[in-house]
Structure 1
Amino acid sequence: MSGSGNLTPTRPGRQEDSAAMNSSYAYEYKVVTFRESLIGDALDSDKLEKVLNKHAEDGWGLKAITSADVKGRVGPGAVEGLLLTFERPRG
């Protein structure tokens, strides 16, 4: 059988490691907190849309939306909110 030699996994060399490290910095990220009103209103979809569109105008693409308890400015409690994670190419 031809081609049935030993197959051993290879580890990336230093050049490949360096390239992988540089590529991990190809993007920059921004996290924006979007929270409910402190009076208990639901999240405002119009305001959320404006935030998304404003960041898109500045070259940011939405990477993730995460639901989270966000500390309010008044009092010790937290309110439900969203963490919006944006990504864009560096440069």
Structure 2
Amino acid sequence: MPRGFQLATPRARPLAGSADMQRFEYKVVQLRESLMGGKLSDDKLEKVLNAEAADGWQLRTITSADVKGRIGPGGVDGLLVTFERPVQR
């Protein structure tokens, strides 16, 4: 084996349904652009991320999506921001 390399040892994972399995809860937040064509600001996203982190939520994914607007049948470009945190026992 070349110097400086180590083989990774796989970590044992608990079986589904076992008492040692950590459980998570999830929260999805919709962020959308304004109906007047304004773009979703970086500041708005940053504020949402920091507010959720202060409550113990960790960012899981950000997905681009058509989010239903308040007026009419169409959607506007937006984001679905998914957070997770361990369930408190």
Bin for the TM-score computed over the shorter chain: 0.7 to 0.9
| Bigger helix share | 1
3-state SS of the aligned residue for 2:52?
A: helix
- Unmatched tracts of structure 1, length 5 or more: 1-15
Partner of 2:74: 77
2:48 to 39, 51, 65: 51
- TM-score relative to the length of structure 2: 0.76
Matches within 5 A, 1:8-23: 16-19=15-18, 23=21
Aligned residues: 74
User: After TM superposition, where is structure 1 displaced by more than 2 Å over at least 4 residues in a row?
Assistant: none
Q: CA deviation at 1:75?
A: 1.0
Instruction: State the one-letter code of the partner of 2:46.
Output: E
Query: Sequence identity, in percent?
Result: 62
| Structure 2 CA distance for partners of 1:54 and 1:19, relative to 1, 3 Å | same
For residues 32 and 86 of structure 1, the distance between their equivalents in structure 2, rounded to whole angstroms, comes to 8
Structure with bigger gyration radius: 1
Aligned to 1:8: none
Aligned 1:20-31 pairs, distance under 5 A:
23=21, 26-31=23-28
Q: Which runs of 5+ in 2 are unaligned?
A: 1-14
What displacement does 1:18 show?
3.0
Deviations 1:17-40 (A, max 9, x none): 5318x73x6110000000000101
Q: CA RMSD in A?
A: 1.7
